[in-house]
Amino acid sequence: MNKQRVILANGSRLLREMLNRIFRKSDHLEVVQEITDHHNLSAAIERLDAEWVIMSPEKDQTMPSWVDKYMLKHPEVRFLTVSNDGSQVKMKWLDKQEKTLSGLSLKDLLYILEQQTN
């Protein structure tokens, strides 16, 4: 299985550090860049050929509004938000499909990231 390339985008520093530590333990996930400003995201996706972009949700736990714009330009990329306490994950991918997953363990999150394909 190829490594899934992940960009950690504009989440809290604590969330990015936690995810980085977790992903380093996985044989199938690789953090290729951390971005604190989503305006730099499109260039990073193109340059690094990322499969995933992971970020914090908005304050109301929704997907950031700018995600749809990036999905139009990069339909092959899956976008995922992780709540600060890690208890809720939202995924958005092709054709603007969106799914909310609650009560996930870190093991569950890793499994989802490692197994998803375009």
pLDDT, one tens digit per residue, over 55-110 is 988 888 888 888 988 888 998 899 999 887 777 888 888 766 778 888 877 788 78
| Mean confidence (pLDDT) of the chain | 85
Q: How many domains does the chain have?
A: 1
The pLDDT assigned to 115 comes to 75
**Mean pLDDT of the region 31-54:** 92
Structural domain harbouring 49: 4-116
H/E segment holding residue 115: helix 106-115
DSSP 36: S
pLDDT over 90 at 6, yes or no: yes
- Dihedral class, residue 115 (left if φ above 0, else alpha if ψ from -120 to 50, else beta): alpha
List, in sequence order, every residue forming a beta bridge with 52; answer none if it has no partner.
6, 78
pTM (predicted TM-score): 0.83
Q: Tokens 């330009």 map to which residue?
A: 73
User: Can you give the pLDDT at residue 118?
Assistant: 43
The domain that contains 38 carries what CATH number?
3.40.50.2300
Longest dimension (CA), the chain: 36
The yes-or-no verdict on residue 35 having pLDDT over 70 is yes
Phi and psi angles of residue 93, each rounded to the nearest 5 degrees, phi first? -150, -160
